[in-house]
Structure formats: C-alpha cells, structure tokens
Amino acid sequence: MENKKWIYFSTALTNVVCLGLGFISGILSARLLGVQARGELGILSYYPSLVAASCSLAFPQALSFFLSKDLSNRASFVSAGVRFSLVLGLLGSRLFAFFSPHTL
C-alpha cells in the first residue's frame, strides 16, 4: 500500500509542477511577446490540440479497452489501430487545413 501512496503523491506533484511551469511560461510569453504575437502563439498552440481532440473520435480509449482484454490477436489490433490512427490523422489535418481559414 505504501507504494500506491508514492504513486499518487508523485502523480499529484507532477501535476502541480506542470501547472506551475505553465503558469510561469504563460506570464513570460504574455510579457515578452506583443499583442499580435500572443494571438499567433495562441492559434499555433490551439489548432493542433483541436485537431487531435476532434479527429480521434475516442479511438485511443477503445483501442486501450480492447488491448486490455486477454486476447490472442493483440498484434492485429495494434496494427489496425496504428493504421486507423494514421488515416484519422491525415483526414483530420486535411479537413482542418481546409476549414481553418473560415474560423479565424
């Protein structure tokens, strides 16, 4: 049980450190960049995460669920998952490249 406590503590500590570093980098980027450069930085950091979130269609969660089962054909699930992820990524990036000028 003591090992579980360390796992929870280290996870929480890592989250706090990541939050603090994000806070510091946000303040530094706000002070060092101008108004226009901050907007460009926001767009450059927002759109890739938007593409990744909206084009995955909960596929990583489904793949993890099926791989966690005791299956004899895990290799086929993994290869199909990699191929399907590549197809979804290419399709999503093409769609967002087409629609992003209309949303800016």
DSSP type of residue 86: H
Judge whether 63 and 81 are in contact, CB under 8 Å: yes
Out of 7-11, 35-39, 49-53, 67-71, the most confident range is 7-11
The set of residues, in sequence order, having a beta carbon less than 8 Å from that of 57 and lying 6+ positions away, is 88
- Hunting for tokens 């938007």 — which residue is that? 50
pLDDT at 27 over 80: yes
- Tokens found for residue 3: 């090992």
pLDDT at residue number 49 = 76
pLDDT at residue number 15 = 94
> Confidence class of residue 104 from pLDDT cuts 50, 70 and 90?
low
Average of per-residue pLDDT across 8-22:
92
pLDDT at residue number 43 = 78
Q: How far apart are the first and last CA of the chain?
A: 51
pTM of the model: 0.51
pLDDT at 29 over 70: yes
Q: pLDDT (tens digit, 9 = 90+) per residue, 49-93?
A: 777 777 777 777 888 888 888 677 788 888 888 888 888 878 887
Q: What's the CA gap between 59 and 39, in Å, rounded? A: 31
